[in-house]
Structure 1
Amino acid sequence: MPRQVDHASRRRLIAETVCRLADEHGLEGVTLRDVAARAEVSMGAVQRCFRTKEEMLVFALGHVGERIGERVRARLVRSPAQSAGTALGHAATEIALLREEHRAEARVWLAFLAQAAVSPALAEPLRANYAALQETFTRLVAEAGADAARAAPLDPRREARALLALADGLTTHVLIGHLTPRQAQDVLHAHLSGLWE
């Protein structure tokens, strides 16, 4: 009797392998053959899961986005009593990938971002990820702004866009060694504090 294969598990295994290889060599260093060897599966197994390298990369990008999204959602629900401003700070910190345990994930995310500039197939899911994050951030900025005593009202959508761009920029600055994680965290906190003044 043929062995049953859990295709969802195999696809996740392959996605994790793509991420490890991308962390080590960048996306240009990811080949179907190397993924099969590192995942300890046959080339045929990889090709049954993904017809092309591009399809495999799109799935791996989605996998990374899901992990980050899960952490953001967990931070938002961990303490229901937290203010919208505190929740926004936690979510932005997760997006910026500043902690040491997320350094490899940050390198992989930025590799995908760079490749998406020339790959419409990768750009599309990234736009969807950012749109969802922007909606969450817009809602949190609006809620926090309503609680703050500000002279001028905030434009929640514009502030959400700025915060997402700042988080990505801080990730890059930490990865290349221009800022330490602590310095980046200070920049992020100063920006957030400035929103409510």
Structure 2
Amino acid sequence: MEAMPKKVDRHERRTLIADALMRVAARQGLEAVSLRHVAAEAGVSPGMVQHYFRTKDEMMAFAMAVVRERNQVRVTEAITRLGEEPPPRSVLRALIGAVLPLTEESRADGRVALAFLAYAAVRPDVAAGLSEDTRQLSAFVASLLPGPQPDERAAALLALMEGLGLYLLSGQYDVERALAALDAQLDVAFAPVGPPAR
């Protein structure tokens, strides 16, 4: 009796290729990413890569989606560890801490995300997909903040998160300094609002 041919999981194969792309990008930068280099890293033929991704933009967008999924898993796990009905400050700290490149795995993802942002900066069609993610994250952060002007303060917190991520990835800050800066800003964001001065 002949063995049944193994069914190929399309998402699994695309993720394998995206992982290879991320390793190439993390090691050599996005300019080194090509169908040929990614195929060699993944141990597959260039034709197979082209079967799943017609263009480099498609491959890049999928790799970024993989990074986004991993971040969502890290964020969900970090917030779940806080237990039932955690205070908003703890939720925000867990969220931002989970997104920051504080571990080897998240640093690798962070390098890809940074490279993708640089790639998207000169490709408006690629960048368009990022706006909705940013809007949703900003709205969620704003919903956790007390006091006036939550939207503006959420934007400031997300800008801090991005800046700390850059400093961590470039080695300018270590984990302790980045978390101290985050905690200082959260202290300001959640400081009690007193009555207006007379």
Q: TM-score, normalised by structure 2?
A: 0.87
C-alpha distance in 1 between matches for 2:149 and 2:160:
16
1:81 to 2:75 alignment: no
- Could you tell me which amino acid in structure 2 is paired with residue 164 of structure 1? L
Match for 1:190 among 145, 164, 184?
184
CA contact (8 A) 2:18 2:59 kept: yes
1:57 to 2:64 alignment: no
- Could you tell me which amino acid in structure 2 is paired with residue 81 of structure 1? E
Taking the TM superposition and a 5 Å limit, the aligned residue runs for 1:1-197 are 4-78=7-81, 79-141=83-145, 145=146, 153-197=147-191
Q: How much does 1:3 deviate?
A: 5.0
C-alpha distance in 1 between matches for 2:154 and 2:80:
19
CA contact (8 A) 1:72 1:95 kept: yes
Deviation per CA, 1:14-69: give whole Å up to 9, x if none: 11111111100111111101111111111121111111111111111111111112
CA contact (8 A) 1:58 1:121 kept: no
Deviation per CA, 1:155-185: give whole Å up to 9, x if none: 2111111111110100111222222221111
Query: Does 1 or 2 have the higher relative contact order (CA < 8 Å, sep 6+)?
Result: 1
CA contact (8 A) 2:121 2:127 kept: yes
- Could you tell me which amino acid in structure 2 is paired with residue 46 of structure 1? V
CA contact (8 A) 1:62 1:125 kept: no
RMSD (Å), alpha carbons: 1.6
CA contact (8 A) 1:14 1:46 kept: yes
| Runs of 5+ consecutive residues of structure 2 not aligned to the other structure | 192-198
Q: How many residues align?
A: 187
- Could you tell me which amino acid in structure 2 is paired with residue 115 of structure 1? Y
Q: TM-score, normalised by structure 1?
A: 0.88
CA contact (8 A) 2:99 2:106 kept: no
C-alpha distance in 2 between matches for 1:75 and 1:110:
22
* Structure with the greater alpha carbon radius of gyration: 2
Q: Using the aligned pairs only, state the percent identity.
A: 41
Deviates more, 1:110-119 or 1:98-107: 98-107
| Runs of 5+ consecutive residues of structure 1 not aligned to the other structure | 146-152
